[in-house]
Structures are given as structure tokens and as C-alpha cells.
Amino acid sequence: MVKKNRNVAIVGVGQTYHKRRRPDVTQVELVNEAVRAALKDAQLDIADIDVVVHGNMELFEGNYQGDMWHVDGDGAYMKSGIRITTGGTTGGALVCATDNIVASGLYDVALCVGFEKMEEGEATGGITGMADPLWFRWMMSGALTGATFAERLGALTMEQLERLELVAAKLRVQLADNAVRNPYAHLRMKLTVDDVMNSRLLVYPLRLFHMCPESSGACALILASEEKAERITDKPVWIKDHVTTHLEDFVVGVITGTESTMRHCARKLYERNKITNPLKQIDTFEMYDPNVWWHMDWMTEFLFLKPGENIEMIEKGRTALEGDFPINASGGVVSTNPIGATAMLRVAEAALQVRGDAGEHQIPKEVNTAMASSFGGSTWTILHLLTKEKPK
């Protein structure tokens, strides 16, 4: 791993419950819910926080500089602060930045908060307006672009296609079952394979129930330096490492190279932390999965699986909550997607699993190491590696 100036741990986790609309609260109040939950979890007061790192997808709501007018909600008044927006990866970038500034020694205890109040804006309008549809048609963004990999399905037989569609439906049911156990999840509904396979077709092979929702909600994490963390809690979750990889498509115009950002990011993380078998050395994975087809595809990329091994893992239940390699015990992004907080929720849920505090969706086996991913425009990928054991 890359040696930090000092170790940093997650000492407080907070999130709101998530819904399509939260008309009962303002943005300030929504942020405040998550911040208060994180402070309560860490048994800290806002006076104990040195700096606030704030972020969301401002483009989707049309309300800018939220860090300036959310101070009554996040407690940043007269404190140092940073605002971050990196697209769908915003929540993960917030954790990276907060980890870095605490590790640097600049601050000892830091609060990061990500949120999205989707009913106050138009995410689809924001995404589709990012590039000229005539000149930059190749520059695609958003979860629906998962359908572009359908080009690769053309070489498959009808039997193979039917198997893939069935596996996609089984995976969605598995994630729905996890979300039902998660009181904070947005889509908490019991699904069957038939429900998924009969849901409305969007762009082949994507169906409505394959896709992530638009959610309103917030997530907050409190990070502390080693000395402070061990005083604050007896269950610190250490941020051992994080890696960021992205392609600036809008600059170069084409995607070059043969390795995806997911595989490249994972390769760097594994090499730095001497991980040679992720299925054995990592206990659970919170993956940013905008739809189940990408979930299946990215399993291969992130975990360096052999062709077809991802499908077999899902069919055999290995990625289920009770399986040997649970993925998205929280229900994942296909169940909850407050975009500015979505990637942070992956880290937060991974941290809860390491602590053993995930409640009804706690993985039954012992979790010592967890990985969380973030995804966003320009195929931006971030990976976080969390451990129960303090890094040496």
C-alpha cells in the first residue's frame, strides 16, 4: 500500500432513509438528518469537527454552491470547508479528499457529507444536455448507457441469451431481497424473477427493474486520525487505501487502451496491497452498480474473473448475503441512488459490515476487509479498501 503520513479511520456513519421525493424536508434539513446521525453514531458534537467536506451533483438540481447555504444543516459555520463535485463518483471523491486531508495532518476530525434531492431538479435533462447530440453522440453518460454492451450479445445463441436474461433477473431479485432488509433503502420491494423479466423493456437488454432509481437522501461520514479515532470508538474502520482512475473522453475523443478503468483501478489497488486472490482476501464488495447488466459485467473486471465465472457465481448464490462472497448486501445502487451520496453509501455500507453494525442486512460471516467502488462520467472509477485491522 501507499504509506500515509498517518492512519485514518471511519468513526461515524450516518444516512437518511431514501425515497423518490422528500417534500417533508428542505435540502438543509435533509443534510442535517445525515450529519446528526453520524455525530450520534460517533458520540461527538459538531464542535469536535475541524472541517466539513461537502458535495453533490449540482448540475442535476440547478442549485449551486450548496456548501455555502447548507451551513445550518452540516454545521460548517465558521469552520474550514471544501466543496467537491465529480459526477456519479462525488460521494467516493468526498471520502478520498477527506481521508487525504486528515492523513496529511492538516485536520484531526473531519466530516464529509453527500446528498441529492432529486425532486428539485432534472437529472435526465442534466445528463442529456452534457454533449451536443450531433457532434458528440459518442460521449454517453448515465446509467442507461449500460445497454451499449448489448452489441457484444450479437454473437450469442438464443439459449445463451435466455440464460443471461434469467441470471440478470435472479441477480435483481437477490439485490431486492437485500434491500428489503435495509431500512434506509429506497426500493424495498419483494420481487420475483417473473416480475423482473416482465417489466417494461427500455433498451435491450435493459428492463425497468434492471435499472437504478432516482432517490433523494444524504449520507455523512466522520473520519479521524489514528490517535483521535482510538479515543472516539472501539470499532474504528481503517481506510487502508483508495485508488482513482478515469478517462477524459471529452478531451481525447476516443477511449484508448485495452484495459477498462475498473480493471486498471483494481489492478493498482491489489498490487499496492498484495492482494492476489480478491475472492479470498476480501470479505465483501459494495459495488456501484447502476444496473444489473453492468453489475454482472463489472464483477469480471473488478475481481479478475474467468469468462463466465461471474454468471456461475450468481447462479450458485455465491454473491448473495449468505454466500461466500457477498456483493451489495445493502441492496446496491439498483435499490438506492441519491447520486451525490450514492458512492459514499458504498463506503458507508462497507464500513458498517466491517463493524458488524449493518443490522438485518449484516453478512453472517466475519467481515475483516471490505471493498467499495464508485462510478461516474468519463468512466471514472474509485476503489476504497477498508479493514478492521489497523494498517501497519
Q: Per-residue pLDDT tens for 256-295?
A: 556 888 999 999 999 999 999 999 999 999 999 999 999 9
pLDDT at 66: 85
Q: How confident is the model at residue 98 (pLDDT cuts 50, 70, 90)?
A: very high
The pTM for the full model equals 0.93
- First-to-last CA distance in the chain? 10
Summarised one tens digit per residue, pLDDT across range 203-215 is 888 899 999 999 9
3-state helix, strand, coil in the chain (%, to 5): 40, 20, 40
Summarised one tens digit per residue, pLDDT across range 153-183 is 656 788 888 999 999 999 999 999 999 999 9
Q: Is 272 a domain residue?
A: no
Residue 215 CA to residue 16 CA, distance in Å, equals 11
Task: Look at residues 348, 342, 370, 360 and name the one whose alpha carbon lies nearest to residue 285.
Answer: 370
Q: Is the pLDDT of residue 130 over 70?
A: no
Helices (H), the chain: 27-42, 58-61, 66-69, 71-74, 90-103, 123-128, 158-180, 193-197, 226-232, 249-252, 261-272, 278-281, 292-303, 309-315, 339-355
Q: Is 177 a domain residue?
A: no
Question: What would the grid cell of residue 107 be?
Answer: 485536520
Q: How confident is the model at residue 300 (pLDDT cuts 50, 70, 90)?
A: very high
Domain span holding position 88: 8-123+214-225
Residue 244 CA to residue 222 CA, distance in Å, equals 21
User: What value does the CA radius of gyration of the chain take, rounded to a whole number of Å?
Assistant: 20
Q: What is the SS3 assignment for 216?
A: strand
Q: Is 200 a domain residue?
A: no
CATH number of the domain that residue 97 is part of: 3.40.47.10
Q: Is 82 a domain residue?
A: yes
Residues in the chain: 392
Q: Is 259 a domain residue?
A: no
Q: Is 153 a domain residue?
A: no
Residue 176 CA to residue 341 CA, distance in Å, equals 20
Q: How many domains does the chain have?
A: 1
Question: What would the grid cell of residue 115 be?
Answer: 446528498
Please say whether the beta carbons of 255 and 132 come within 8 A: no
Q: Is 191 a domain residue?
A: no
Q: Is 335 a domain residue?
A: no
